[in-house]
Amino acid sequence: MHKFILKRFLMLIPVLLGLVFILFTILHFAPGDPAMVIGGEAATEERLQEIREEFGLLDPFIVQFGNYMWGIIRLDFGVSWITNNSVGEEIFARFPNTIQLAAMGVTLGLLLGIPLGILSATKQYSALDTGATVFGLLGVSIPNFWLGLMMIMFFSVTLGWLPPTGFGEPIQWIMPTVAIGTGSMAIIMRMTRSSMLECIRQDYIRTARAKGQKERIVIFRHALKNALIPVTTVAGLNFGFLLGGAVLTETIFAIPGIGSLAVSAIQARDRPVILGGVLLFAVTFSVVNLLVDILYAFIDPRIRSQYR
């Protein structure tokens, strides 16, 4: 098991290196002069030349990329071109809000998606199954930014029940969590339903019922445990997708997270902040996938036995 974890960690290195290289290349060769972004439109040519020399913008591309990678190795993500603050400090100050938002979205998806999926599978072709299927299709189809705007208009503007922006108080978590977690809930519900239908048709389920086991024990102890493996995969992938979806949700609800920071950085063409935010997203997504793989071993004894 330890060798597997170490191998997965080592595999992250070329993936992250390739991601940084591609993104750095795109931003480096994008139209425009970075010195103008740093100095502003009113900067003189002499000032622009000083900025190019100070930030190493006159160096060859490979030298600039090497200097940036050396800074990442030393956990130095550079300085924001707009605010002149440390990129690492700005990102890690906002990172907890983004992680909390994505975690609450996945939690909402699991708490509602798994029970609805179980009920839909055990009551196949019933009115409950049809309603859950329609609800799941709506959850997947409705964009989270549109849902967020509609909730602000209804619950904040019309009814005045919930605050439209912010993320400091628990009451401010409700609408962002629902907006970002609805799609995840629908996907988890559909995956739980299909996985449960496959499991409850297996021979060992018929054997458990033939032995006189209660239906509750058959469903939750025998079928659900085997059906959770693909659900776990979907939940882990959805966590990574929700990190990306947080960009829109944080912007709509004015949440001080990495998503809103990335939007501001893209608009201002602040390359160090863009690179730092995307790199942190990639590392988080990769670590979550690793944790999901490790979780498999605790869910399924057959997988755990492969690492002994």
| Six token digits for residue 148 | 């967020």
237-241 long-range CB contacts below 8 Å, 24 or more apart?
237/289, 238/105, 238/106, 238/109, 238/184, 238/187, 238/188, 239/102, 239/103, 239/106, 239/285, 239/288, 240/281, 240/284, 240/285, 240/288, 240/289, 241/184
Confirm if 193 and 126 have CB atoms less than 8 A apart: no
The predicted-structure confidence for 110-146, as pLDDT tens digits, reads as follows: 898 888 888 888 888 888 888 888 888 888 788 888 8
The predicted-structure confidence for 47-93, as pLDDT tens digits, reads as follows: 888 888 887 878 888 988 888 888 888 888 888 888 888 888 888 88
| Six token digits for residue 153 | 């208009």
The predicted-structure confidence for 171-204, as pLDDT tens digits, reads as follows: 888 999 998 888 888 889 888 888 888 888 888 8
Cα of first residue to Cα of last residue in the chain, in angstroms, is 7
- CA 87 vs. chain centroid, Å, equals 20
In three-state secondary structure terms, 30 is coil
For 29-154, where are the alpha helices, taking DSSP H only? 34-39, 45-54, 61-73, 87-122, 127-141, 144-151
Confidence of residue 305 (pLDDT cuts 50, 70, 90): low
- CA 67 vs. chain centroid, Å, equals 29
pTM of the predicted structure, to 2 decimals: 0.80
217-225 long-range CB contacts below 8 Å, 24 or more apart?
219/118, 219/122, 223/196, 223/199, 224/118, 224/196, 224/199, 225/299, 225/300
Residues 230-253: b if buried by 16+ CB within 10 A, e if exposed: ebbbbbbbbbbbbbebbbbbbbbb
The pLDDT value recorded for residue 251 is 84
Cβ neighbours of 27 (radius 10 Å) = 17
The predicted-structure confidence for 228-287, as pLDDT tens digits, reads as follows: 888 888 888 888 778 776 778 888 888 888 888 888 888 778 888 888 888 888 888 878
